[in-house]
Structure 1
């Protein structure tokens, strides 16, 4: 049984991840803070981070909407925080992907574009701009993206050094913080919970105002990494349920997603080893191919599966309330059963 309350300093392993509602605790010591929240959450977040977020500790609003950096900086100062804060914005369109849908095995073309034109980072020490760009390049590696039009991407592929990052996302009436640290292999994890993403799922639900959650995993090299980590681990071995993600206004483990779907109300802050991937995540090529072929024929856009050049990815989008969530969960289960 994993001790979710285990302190950060006592965790071991090459990569650790944890999720908490205590965003102030999560931010302490982070090399990079990524924030994806609705505009109405800036005041509340500023109050929580005042006295915790350090001046010049890089924080990126992603996406940057409604003068996000200005609003957050103002709320920090209103809450009594002092000093100059290293806060910037990136637009939702910084990444986009193009794929020939007639050939699901072909390459994805992913590009960067449209850094938010009205934000010049003029408030940031020029000597740190190069560090900011380098860190963003590591956090948001282009080759880790499947579909670039979602608001939050955490792609940790910093192979040769250590990284300590936290992402803060907005649940319906609270925040969740996802913290990752350690020596990061060629593995990426992304998750998001944001405001209206009507273009993505409007044709599924026929309405625009809702909260949508997303989880996703990119599986390149996981089997090889696990073999190096522990030669006794086999591809199809059920590793555990210890990886915890923000999932709507709940927290779930991989076993919840792929197994009994038990929802956990909250998880005390602690970092959880990434070697806790479920057996589905090490699926063989034949399984993934069947999954891709099936998912591309599913009428709902609630589930999407892609096959990029550099690995596999599986993603599901969920509505956070009502019977439609249950119906969509059935679709997800049907696809997972093909693994």
Structure 2
């Protein structure tokens, strides 16, 4: 989960993360903590859409030339509540301005606030179908079009879509699931000593949040700097042609619909190499991200009991000619990365 979130911060074009798992496993806490790690971005001053001053396609709502003055601000992280109305999400008529000045004006919604940032949907599998359709449209095109009461507005809505949910509460529509670049599955920790450690950390935070934050500030700043460095280094990262062919062979063998799986796996492997300060993608980089990128894209067979993650790893090992990790090796690698 943490790796998928970090890679999406380094390269937002990966397309977001879907995190499914047991309740009470810290999914929402981890996602909201991500906002603190994001470096500041440059935006046009007083612009409701967080427009990039260096991007000519991103104009103000009236289509005019943007203001020359710019400001630095934190990357927006917007929560999309389950009970939100379509007007609140897409934007609507500014009633106050209409009554006071007698003019039609647009009041931006949550999609405008989330532009160039992160849009987080908790319990995404419980979201109403009409809001799912709005998100699908915006995530696909990068634009939000609003037609309301004689007003026609089109504004950029390029965001990293992050969702979380509990599989016990229902499945996600395949069309929406495919829009998420990566998919992480979280299980409840079984090891008693690790559970005690988590409880103690939580108790320490509750006792004195400010001291707890100060204690971990240095580690937090180091990680933020690592992300900034990785973002700058990402364009220099290269992947061998044979590796790209092998990734596509895995996708083809697993009968993955479309080409999103190939594209996302390529991007994620490069982002991981940049995160670790390298300019060449290794086979191990691909191994670590390919399950996250393809697990949710496989066609489900109701009679098949094999976990989709295992299926992806098995195909990867065959195509790339590497030995499958044993469960003990996987556990050791996971503890080492922690």
Bin for the TM-score computed over the shorter chain: under 0.3
Which structure carries more strand by proportion? 1
Judging by fraction of residues, say which structure has more helix: 2
**TM-score relative to the length of structure 1:** 0.27
